């Protein structure tokens, strides 16, 4: 009964968000946001209510929410929802490799995250040429993944020296310089 109630509320929120997308963008975004918060809330509530193993079901909930938000954000052209889906998948990726390699070096973390950064930026360029309205999401996800090795080292793992934060500041400066140098390219991707 709880599952049917939760699913019906979510279907109503996301369904009316799709209906109001062209009529009233503000109401559509509010309904998508409410549906997203309720998706996560209902999932956590059901895990707690049924006393399920949180170590198994919480990552599964994160994966399901990320997939749902990526798909809905892509088809409804809601950039923030689409980006949050990728952020949840990045959280899942970080948690998985945090368990597999808890003692990873900074070089290993760079090798874990930077190929995904390049992939997302390449997808941004590709989506600009194939599908309108989503390339900004991929560029934003790629920019966030550019900083994830240091964020992973500082906040998700223990034992990294404090000079890792200086590398993060340096990468932010390099990223801003690259955005400035290539502004004529990426602004057209994002604006489409």
A 10 A CB-CB count for 124 gives: 22
| Cβ-based neighbours of 40, under 8 Å, separated by 6 or more | 61, 65
The tokens for 164 are: 């890792």
Q: Work out the pLDDT band at 85, boundaries 50, 70, 90.
A: very high
In this predicted model, which residue has the larger pLDDT, 127 or 186? 127
Start-to-end C-alpha separation, the chain: 44
| Cβ-based neighbours of 84, under 8 Å, separated by 6 or more | 36, 66, 69, 73
Q: What is the pLDDT of residue 163?
A: 82
Report the pLDDT averaged over residues 148-158. Answer: 85
Label residue 62 exposed, middle or buried (CB < 10 Å: 0-12, 13-18, 19+): middle
Residue-averaged pLDDT of the chain: 89
∠135-138-141 over CA atoms, to 5°? 150
The tokens for 28 are: 């559509």
The tokens for 8 are: 């019906």
Report the pLDDT averaged over residues 18-46. Answer: 91
Q: What is the pLDDT of residue 68?
A: 94
CA 188 to chain centre: 22
Whether 65 contacts 88, CB under 8 Å: yes
Q: Work out the pLDDT band at 192, boundaries 50, 70, 90.
A: low
pTM value is: 0.88
Q: Work out the pLDDT band at 118, boundaries 50, 70, 90.
A: very high
Distances (CA, A) of 79 to 41, 45, 136, 172: 21, 27, 8, 23
Label residue 125 exposed, middle or buried (CB < 10 Å: 0-12, 13-18, 19+): middle
Could you tell me where the DSSP H helices lie in the chain? 2-19, 25-49, 54-76, 79-100, 106-130, 135-151, 164-181, 183-191
Q: Work out the pLDDT band at 9, boundaries 50, 70, 90.
A: confident
The tokens for 64 are: 């399901």
In this predicted model, which residue has the larger pLDDT, 84 or 164? 84
Report the pLDDT averaged over residues 127-142. Answer: 87
């Amino acid at each position: 009964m709880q599952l049917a109630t939760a699913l019906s509320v979510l279907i109503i929120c996301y369904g009316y968000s799709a209906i109001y997308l062209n009529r009233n963008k503000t109401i559509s975004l509010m309904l998508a946001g409410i549906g997203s918060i309720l998706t996560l809330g209902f999932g956590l509530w059901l895990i707690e209510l049924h006393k399920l193993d949180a170590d198994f079901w919480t990552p599964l909930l994160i994966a399901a929410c990320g997939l749902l938000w990526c798909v809905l954000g892509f088809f409804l052209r809601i950039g923030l929802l689409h980006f949050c889906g990728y952020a949840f998948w990045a959280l899942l990726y970080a948690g998985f490799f945090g368990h597999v390699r808890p003692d990873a070096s900074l070089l290993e973390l760079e090798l874990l995250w930077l190929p995904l950064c390049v992939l997302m930026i390449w997808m941004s360029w590709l989506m600009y040429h194939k599908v309108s309205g989503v390339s900004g999401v991929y560029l934003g996800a790629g920019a966030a993944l550019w900083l994830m090795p240091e964020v992973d080292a500082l906040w998700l793992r223990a034992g990294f020296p404090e000079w890792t934060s200086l590398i993060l500041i340096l990468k932010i400066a390099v990223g801003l310089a690259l955005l400035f140098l290539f502004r004529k390219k990426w602004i057209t991707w994002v604006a489409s």
